[in-house]
Amino acid sequence: MNNLAQGDRVFHPNKKAWGLGKVLSVSADNIDVFFVGTGSKRLAKSFVQLEIVEGAAAKNSLLDNLGDASQLAGADYVSLPTAVERFLATYPDGFVTSAFVKEEREPNLQAHQFCIQLLGEKEIAELIAEQRYPDICDRVRHVESVSNLLTKSEKTPLYAALDLPENQKIFAMGFADLLYGKDSEEYRFKLFLRVLDLLEIKRWHYATLFGFIRFPQEKAFIKPTEIQNAAKALCWRINYKPEANWASYTAVLRLYNHLLANLADEGLSPRDMIDVHSFIASVGRKK
């Protein structure tokens, strides 16, 4: 115990169910540890001898992306098994529950399929070559309308911006580059943010909506309240800022990928980020 330092990975020898832990701080008498199975614990040095874990056994994506001290102090931590239990209370057969498929998955899968048909790389290149920018905006609205990702009040600013002729070319070009450009993903994301800023709709919903619909195997969709609540519950550091930005997006994407990789161990098998998004939404809802 005396040799432990902040950041060390540990096990409690008498509390194996707590799982792997990360040392948060060490004082003369106590040690604060976050365990993936139970959350933060303050332990008296005189009563327990923690086991240091190294190598492959010390690897854990949650502990690598753990929230800062202020977030952990006020968190009502929800472990992944507990989050899965809550999800299964609503959808007993997990991601294949008929109600889940109908309500959560089918609308967004249909939007994805329409996006491929109407706004695939070849289709959008032809539309741009013919300067049919209004048609691109019409197709964007149609694809979005099939999904269940935006509320009516969230749709209104987007649709209004796309209705303005002076916005249609800049949006169409930025949209095409976001999905199919050859520059780095970071560059294209930031460029699209500038487009949204010019259209006065630089919000998380619109910044992440189209990549998610077009590439549901790899992109994340961000609704501010949902993701903040879920990140707080799961104690995942997302460095959230109200203005859409690349750093926060990549932190959220790490959470999506963490869940995509780890939910199967808890009895759920997400097919893609559509399933992961719905799971995150369930975690982010107030109980």
Q: Which two tokens stand for residue 209?
A: 């909506």
Q: Return d(Cα 46, Cα 275) in angstroms, integer.
A: 46
pLDDT on residue 239: 92
Structural domains present in the chain: 9-60 (2.30.30), 80-96+219-284 (no CATH), 98-214 (no CATH)
**Residue in this structure with the two tokens 């498929």, named with its chain if needed:** 101
* Contact by Cβ (8 Å): 216, 276: no
Q: Return d(Cα 114, Cα 109) in angstroms, integer.
A: 9
66 contacts: CB under 8 Å, gap ≥ 6:
22, 34, 72, 235, 236, 237
Entry pTM: 0.93
Give the mean pLDDT of the chain. Answer: 95
pLDDT digits over 224-262, tens only? 999 999 999 999 999 999 999 999 999 999 999 999 999
210 contacts: CB under 8 Å, gap ≥ 6:
115, 140, 175, 178, 179
**Alpha-carbon distance values, 235 to 3, 127, 181 (Å):** 26, 45, 34
